C-alpha cells in the first residue's frame, strides 16, 4: 500500500475513484477529500474523521518480556541434554556433578540472553521522526495542533525547517524544496510543483507534487492537503514491511543448530548403547546412570555457546577499531559468509560530495581533481598536464562569474569542510576556491545590485553586479538547454562569436558529460546599461553569451574501487541498488569496475514492476545494477538472491532501506548519514559510511569463522577422545564386582574431570584461538556455501581420527595404572593429565588447516599464555586439596607426570608428520 490512493485509510474511503492524488488537479483532490483549501475542515468533521481513520501515528509493536526471552534461551538443545544430565545426577545423589552442570547451563543461557536482549527499535525510531506539532487550517484559521490529530482532508502549512507530518498533495509552492533522501535515497532536495502529473505509475522520487511524512522542508514555503495519515503513509507502509519481515537464521546459527542435532543424537546413541550393554552385563541402575551421565557430558562441548559468543565479541571489538559497529554478534561471522553485497551508491560507493571534474570554456577543456569539499586540487589541460588556472583567462573568468552567481557557502570548521546550500552549486564554489577565488574576495571588486534566485520554472539563477569601472553585468548559470536557448553569442578562445558557430560543439559537450554520468551546469553573461539594470529578470535573461559548461559528479571513493576488486577476488559479487537515474548508476558502476562494460545491463524500478517473481529469479543472478528503485523493489531483490542460496549483505541509510536491511542476511547501515530507522534495523553500522569498511569487516568475519571452526575441531576432538576413552573402558570391561555381586565399571575419567577438560583445558586456549590471525589466503577463497557444515573439507575425519588416537592413548595409560595396582583415583588422574596435555599439544595443530609444521607456534602470544595457564590450573587440581576434593584427583609422582606429558605429545606430532610428508589432506 502507498499514498497513491486518496483517503485509503479504511474501507469507507473519502475518494471513490481511488485515483492517485499526484495525477489529479488541485480541485479534484479537494473535491475527493470533501475539503476546501481556503477553509480546511471544521472541528466537528475533523473529530469524525479522526474517529474513522485513527490517530496519525505508527502502530505499536509487540515486545517480548525479558523473562520470556531468557526462558527462550533454555530451549537450546545442548542445554536441554545437559539439564537432563543434571536431573539424573541429582537422582543418583551426585550433587557436585548436578550443581556444576546447572551452573554451566545458567552461564550459557545468560550469555545468549544478553546477546539477544537488544530488541529491535525500528518502530520507535520511526515514531520519533513524526512531527509532534504542525500548523493546520480549521474553519479558515491556522492553528498549531498535535500532528496526531491530522486526518485526510486537513490543510497544512509547510515552511523551511518543517518536518512534514503526513502524506499530502501540494496546493501552493513558493520555491518549496524538500529533503526526501530518507525515503528515496536521492541526496538533492526536490523542488515541489502544483500541477498534476500524467503518469499513474510514477515512483516516489518522481511524485514532485506530493510531500511525505517524516521528510523535511529545506527551502521555501507552501501549503498542502493531507491525503494519508498514520500507517497509510509511505513511512507507514515501510513500517508494515518492517513488521512483516522475519529474521532469518544466520549461517552460523544454522550451522550450530545442525551441529547441536548431531551432538544430541550422538549422546543419545551412546547412552542407549551403555544401557543395553549394561543391562546384559548385569550393571546396577546407579552405575549405568553414572556412566551414561559421564558419556553424555563427554559428548557435548559445554563451553561451545559461551566460547563462540566470546570469540564473536572479540571480533566485534576488532571491527569497531576498523569503523564497523556490529549490533548483533552473529553479524560478525555472517559477514564472512557473504556472497553478495547489495550497496547503495550515494555516500557509500561515492563520496556524497559533488565535485567539478571537467570544465569546458572558450572552446577548451580542463580537468580538476581534489577530494571532497576541501579547496585543494590541481587544474589540468586537455592533455592532462598540470596548469596554473590564473594563466587561463577564460577559465578564471568563468570561475569568478559562477562564484558571484551563487548563494552556497563553503564552511570550514576545525579543519573539516562542508557546504551550506545546494550540492551542485557547492561543487562550483569549491572548484573556484581551488583557484583561490572566493565570493568574499570578489565582493571587494564587485557590488551585487540584484539577485534572481534559482527557480524550478526558469531552471536558472542570475545576478546583476557592477565592477570597479561601474560597468554592470548579468551573470547567469543553470540548465544548459535553457541557457543555450537564450544565447546569441559564445566565447571562443577569448573572442565572442555567434552562438551558431559553437552550438554544435556546446551540445556535444553536454552529451559527452551526460554519458560520463556528469551533471551539467552552463554559465553565461551579458553586459548591461544603466537603464537595463532596473528591468525584470524575464527581460534581462536573453541575448546572452555562453561562457562554458561545468561537468559535475559525486565521484567514487578510491578506496571503494579497490574494495570492489578485493570483493571480486574473494568471489563476492557487488550489486548497486540506487534511487538515482540508470545512466548515472551505469557510468559509476563502470568507472569503479563493478561491471566490465560501459553499456552493462541494468534494471529500473519500472521494469521490476513489470517482472514476475520467476522472471526476476532468472536474471537476478547476473544483474549488478538496479536504478530508480523503491523499498518494495529492494525487498524483492534481496529475497530473490536469497532464494538462489546467496548470503546477502544489504547497505542503506534511509527509512526506505529499513525493510531490506532487516530481511537481508546482514543489514549494513551508514553511521554518519544514516537515519535512526536504518541504524536500528541493521546488524552492522559503518561509522565512516565507507564501502571499503564492509570489505575489511568481511575479512574479519572470515577470520572469525575460521577461528570458530578451529575451536570446534579442538573441542570435538576432545569430546571424541573423552567418549572413546570411556567406551574403551566399558567395552573392554575394566571392571570389578561390588559386594552385591553387581558389575562395576571403572570409568577412565570422572564426570567432573570431563567438565574440567571441556571448560578449562579447552575453554581457556580456545579464547586465544579467537585472537588468531587470518590465514594468508583468507580473501582469496570463494564464499562458503550457505548450507556448508562445520565439517566440510574432511574436518569430521580429522576430528574422529585424532580423537580416537588420543582417547585410545588415554585409556591405555589408565589401563596400565590399574594393571600395576595403582588404584582407581591414581589411574584416573594419570588419564586426566594425558587427556589435558594431549589437547594442549593438539591445539597448535588445530589452529591451522595445514599442519602445525607450517605455522609458527609463537605467532599467537595469547595462545601461548592460554596453554600455559590451562596447564598450570589443571596440574594444580591434581596437587591441591581443593582440586582433589572437587574432581576426585590424587597427587601423582613427578616422574609419572613427565612421562604422561611426553606421551600426550606423540599423537599430534606423529599424525601431523604423516599428513605433512604423506600429503594426506583428510588426516
Tell whether the model's pLDDT for residue 187 goes beyond 50: yes
- Cell (9 digits) for 45: 468533521
- Cell (9 digits) for 898: 613427565
pLDDT band for position 360 (cuts 50, 70, 90) = very high
- Cell (9 digits) for 629: 528503485
151-166 pLDDT, tens digit per residue, is 999 999 998 778 888 9
- Cell (9 digits) for 516: 560520463
Tell whether the model's pLDDT for residue 742 goes beyond 70: no
* Catalytic-residue membership of 344: yes
Nearest-angstrom CA–CA distance, 692 and 698: 10
Q: Tell me what the mean pLDDT of segment 390-409 comes to.
A: 93
How many C-beta atoms surround the C-beta of residue 792 within 10 A?
12
Output 5 or 458, whichever has higher pLDDT: 458
Tell whether the model's pLDDT for residue 498 goes beyond 80: yes
Please list the residues that pair with 413 across neighbouring strands.
416
**β-pair type (519-528, 472-478):** antiparallel
Q: Tell me what the mean pLDDT of segment 394-418 comes to.
A: 90
Count of residues making up the chain: 923
pLDDT of res. 131 = 47
| Angle, vertex CA 65, rays to CA 61 and CA 68, nearest 5 | 125
100-136 pLDDT, tens digit per residue, is 667 767 766 776 666 455 434 443 444 454 447 788 9
Q: What is the pTM of this model?
A: 0.66
pLDDT of res. 124 = 46
Please list the residues that pair with 5 across neighbouring strands.
none
pLDDT of res. 786 = 67
Contacts of residue 535, Cβ cutoff 8 Å, sequence gap at least 6: none
Q: Which of 397, 392, 363, 362 is nearest to 380 (CA)?
A: 392
**β-pair type (684-686, 324-326):** antiparallel
pLDDT band for position 7 (cuts 50, 70, 90) = very low
pLDDT of res. 284 = 65
Q: Tell me what the mean pLDDT of segment 773-800 comes to.
A: 79
Tell whether the model's pLDDT for residue 777 goes beyond 90: no
| HEC assignment per residue over 821-880 | CCCHHHHHHHHHHHHHHHHHHHHHHHCCCCCHHHCCCCCCHHHHHHHHHHHHHHHHHHHC
pLDDT of res. 581 = 78
Q: Tell me what the mean pLDDT of segment 63-85 comes to.
A: 67
- By CB neighbour count within 10 A (0-12 exposed, 13-18 middle, 19+ buried), where does 456 fall? middle
Q: Which member of 2, 154, 344, 554 is catalytic?
A: 344
Task: Please give the torsion angle defined by the CA atoms of residues 51, 52, 53 and 58, in that order, rounded to the nearest 10 degrees.
Answer: 50
Poorest-pLDDT segment among 22-26, 224-228, 707-711 = 707-711
Question: Which of 116-125, 245-254, 431-440 is modeled with the greatest confidence?
Answer: 431-440
For the chain, the average pLDDT equals 82
Tell whether the model's pLDDT for residue 776 goes beyond 70: yes
pLDDT of res. 340 = 93
854-875 pLDDT, tens digit per residue, is 888 888 888 899 899 999 999 9
Output 755 or 560, whichever has higher pLDDT: 560
pLDDT of res. 198 = 85
- Cell (9 digits) for 743: 558389575
Could you tell me if 709 and 848 are in contact, meaning their C-beta atoms sit under 8 angstroms apart? no
pLDDT of res. 614 = 92
Tell whether the model's pLDDT for residue 25 goes beyond 80: yes
pLDDT of res. 790 = 75
Nearest-angstrom CA–CA distance, 734 and 748: 9
Residue that the C-alpha cell 592413548 belongs to: 809
Could you tell me if 151 and 51 are in contact, meaning their C-beta atoms sit under 8 angstroms apart? no
Tell whether the model's pLDDT for residue 826 goes beyond 60: yes
Q: Tell me what the mean pLDDT of segment 250-271 comes to.
A: 72
Nearest-angstrom CA–CA distance, 307 and 788: 21
Q: Tell me what the mean pLDDT of segment 255-274 comes to.
A: 73
Percent of the chain with pLDDT over 70: 83
pLDDT band for position 302 (cuts 50, 70, 90) = low
pLDDT band for position 676 (cuts 50, 70, 90) = low
pLDDT of res. 118 = 46
pLDDT band for position 59 (cuts 50, 70, 90) = low
pLDDT of res. 789 = 74
Backbone angles phi, psi at 553, to 5 degrees: -150, 160
516-548 pLDDT, tens digit per residue, is 878 899 999 999 998 888 888 788 889 999 999
Output 80 or 421, whichever has higher pLDDT: 421
pLDDT of res. 5 = 41
Q: Tell me what the mean pLDDT of segment 207-231 comes to.
A: 88
Output 630 or 360, whichever has higher pLDDT: 360
pLDDT band for position 377 (cuts 50, 70, 90) = very high
Amino acid at each position: 500500500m502507498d499514498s497513491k490512493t486518496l483517503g485509503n485509510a479504511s474501507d469507507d474511503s473519502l475518494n471513490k475513484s481511488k485515483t492517485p492524488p499526484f495525477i489529479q488537479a488541485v480541485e479534484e483532490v479537494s473535491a475527493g477529500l470533501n475539503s476546501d483549501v481556503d477553509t480546511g475542515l471544521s472541528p466537528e468533521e475533523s473529530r469524525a474523521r479522526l474517529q474513522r481513520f485513527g490517530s496519525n501515528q505508527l502502530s505499536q509493536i509487540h515486545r517480548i518480556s525479558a523473562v520470556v526471552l531468557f526462558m527462550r534461551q533454555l530451549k537450546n538443545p545442548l542445554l536441554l541434554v545437559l539439564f537432563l544430565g543434571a536431573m539424573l545426577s541429582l537422582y543418583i545423589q551426585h550433587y557436585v556433578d548436578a550443581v556444576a552442570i546447572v551452573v554451566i547451563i545458567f552461564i550459557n543461557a545468560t550469555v545468549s540472553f544478553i546477546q539477544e536482549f537488544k530488541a529491535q527499535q525500528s518502530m520507535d525510531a520511526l515514531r520519533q521522526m513524526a512531527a509532534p506539532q504542525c500548523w493546520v487550517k480549521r474553519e479558515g484559521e491556522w492553528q498549531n495542533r498535535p500532528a496526531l490529530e491530522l486526518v485526510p482532508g486537513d490543510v497544512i502549512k509547510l515552511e523551511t525547517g518543517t518536518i512534514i507530518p503526513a502524506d499530502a498533495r501540494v496546493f501552493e509552492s513558493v520555491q518549496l524544496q524538500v529533503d526526501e533522501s530518507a525515503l528515496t535515497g536521492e541526496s538533492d532536495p526536490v523542488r515541489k510543483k502544483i500541477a498534476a502529473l500524467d503518469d499513474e505509475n510514477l515512483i516516489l522520487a518522481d511524485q514532485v507534487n506530493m510531500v511525505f511524512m517524516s521528510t523535511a522542508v529545506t527551502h521555501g514555503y507552501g501549503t498542502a492537503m493531507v491525503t494519508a495519515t498514520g500507517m497509510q503513509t509511505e513511512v507507514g507502509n515501510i513500517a508494515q514491511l518492517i513488521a512483516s519481515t522475519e529474521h532469518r537464521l544466520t549461517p552460523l546459527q544454522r550451522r550450530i543448530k545442525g551441529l547441536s542435532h548431531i551432538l544430541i543424537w550422538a549422546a543419545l546413541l551412546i547412552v542407549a548403547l551403555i544401557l543395553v550393554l549394561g543391562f546384559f552385563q548385569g550393571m546396577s541402575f546407579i552405575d549405568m546412570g553414572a556412566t551414561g551421565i559421564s558419556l553424555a557430558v563427554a559428548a557435548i562441548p559445554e563451553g561451545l555457546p559461551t566460547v563462540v559468543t566470546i570469540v564473536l565479541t572479540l571480533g566485534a571489538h576488532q571491527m569497531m577499531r576498523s569503523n564497523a559497529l556490529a549490533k548483533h554478534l552473529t553479524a560478525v561471522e555472517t559477514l564472512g559468509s557473504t556472497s553478495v553485497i547489495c550497496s547503495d551508491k550515494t555516500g557509500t560507493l561515492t563520496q556524497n560530495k559533488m565535485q567539478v571534474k571537467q570544465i569546458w570554456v572558450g572552446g577548451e577543456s580542463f580537468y580538476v581533481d581534489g577530494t571532497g569539499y576541501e579547496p585543494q586540487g590541481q587544474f589540468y589541460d586537455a592533455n592532462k598536464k598540470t596548469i596554473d588556472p590564473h594563466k587561463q583567462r577564460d577559465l578564471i573568468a568563468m570561475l569568478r562569474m559562477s562564484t558571484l552567481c551563487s548563494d552556497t557557502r563553503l564552511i570550514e570548521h576545525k579543519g573539516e569542510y562542508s557546504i551550506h546550500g545546494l550540492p551542485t552549486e557547492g561543487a562550483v564554489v569549491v572548484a573556484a576556491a581551488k583557484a583561490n577565488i572566493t565570493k568574499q574576495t570578489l565582493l571587494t571588486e564587485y557590488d551585487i545590485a540584484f539577485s534572481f534566485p534559482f527557480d524550478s520554472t526558469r531552471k536558472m539563477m542570475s545576478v546583476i553586479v557592477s565592477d570597479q569601472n561601474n560597468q554592470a553585468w548579468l551573470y547567469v548559470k543553470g540548465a544548459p538547454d535553457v541557457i543555450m536557448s537564450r544565447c546569441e553569442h559564445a566565447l571562443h578562445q577569448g573572442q565572442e562569436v555567434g552562438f551558431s558557430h559553437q552550438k554544435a560543439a556546446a551540445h556535444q559537450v553536454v552529451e559527452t558529460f551526460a554519458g560520463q554520468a556528469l551533471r551539467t551546469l552552463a554559465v553565461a553573461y551579458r553586459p548591461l546599461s544603466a537603464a537595463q539594470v532596473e528591468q525584470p529578470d524575464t527581460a534581462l535573461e536573453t541575448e546572452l553569451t555562453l561562457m562554458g559548461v561545468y561537468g559535475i559528479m559525486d565521484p567514487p571513493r578510491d578506496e571503494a574501487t579497490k574494495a570492489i576488486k578485493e570483493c571480486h577476488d574473494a568471489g563476492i559479487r557487488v550489486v548497486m541498488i540506487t534511487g538515482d537515474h540508470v545512466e548515472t548508476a551505469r557510468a559509476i558502476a563502470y568507472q569503479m569496475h563493478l561491471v566490465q562494460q560501459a553499456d552493462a545491463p541494468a534494471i529500473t524500478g519500472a521494469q521490476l514492476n513489470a517482472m514476475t517473481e520467476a522472471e526476476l529469479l532468472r536474471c537476478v543472478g547476473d544483474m549488478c545494477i538496479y536504478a530508480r528503485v523503491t523499498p518494495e523493489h529492494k525487498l524483492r531483490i534481496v529475497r530473490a538472491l536469497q532464494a538462489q542460496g546467496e548470503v546477502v549483505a544489504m547497505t542503506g541509510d534511509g527509512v526506505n532501506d529499513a525493510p531490506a536491511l532487516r530481511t537481508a542476511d546482514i543489514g549494513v547501515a551508514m553511521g554518519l548519514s544514516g537515519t535512526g530507522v536504518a541504524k536500528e534495523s541493521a546488524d552492522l553500522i559503518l561509522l565512516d559510511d565507507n564501502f571499503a569498511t564492509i570489505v575489511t569487516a568481511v575479512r574479519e568475519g572470515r577470520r572469525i569463522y575460521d577461528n570458530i571452526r578451529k575451536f570446534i575441531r579442538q573441542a570435538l576432538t576432545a569430546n571424541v577422545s573423552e567418549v572413546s576413552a570411556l567406551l574403551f573402558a566399558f567395552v573392554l570391561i575394566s571392571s570389578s564386582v561390588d559386594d552385591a555381586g553387581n558389575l562395576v565399571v571403572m570409568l577412565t575419567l570422572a564426570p567432573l574431570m570431563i567438565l574440567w577438560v571441556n571448560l578449562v583445558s579447552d575453554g581457556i586456549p580456545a579464547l586465544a584461538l579467537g585472537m588468531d590471525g587470518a590465514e594468508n589466503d583468507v580473501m582469496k577463497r570463494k564464499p562458503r556455501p550457505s548450507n556448508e557444515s562445520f565439517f566440510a573439507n574432511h574436518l569430521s575425519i580429522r576430528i574422529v581420527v585424532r580423537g580416537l588416537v588420543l582417547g585410545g592413548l588415554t585409556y591405555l595409560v589408565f589401563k596400565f595404572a590399574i594393571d600395576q595396582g595403582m588404584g582407581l583415583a591414581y589411574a584416573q588422574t594419570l588419564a586426566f593429565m594425558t587427556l589435558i596435555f594431549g589437547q594442549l599439544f593438539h591445539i597448535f595443530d588445530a589452529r591451522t588447516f595445514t599442519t602445525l609444521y607450517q605455522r609458527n607456534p609463537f605467532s599467537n602470544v595469547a595462545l601461548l599464555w592460554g596453554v600455559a595457564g590451562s596447564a598450570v590450573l589443571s596440574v594444580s587440581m591434581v596437587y591441591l586439596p581443593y582440586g582433589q576434593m572437587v574432581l576426585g584427583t590424587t597427587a601423582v609422582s613427578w616422574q609419572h607426570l613427565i612421562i604422561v606429558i611426553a606421551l600426550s605429545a606423540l599423537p599430534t606430532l606423529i599424525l601431523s608428520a604423516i599428513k605433512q610428508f604423506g600429503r594426506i589432506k583428510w588426516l
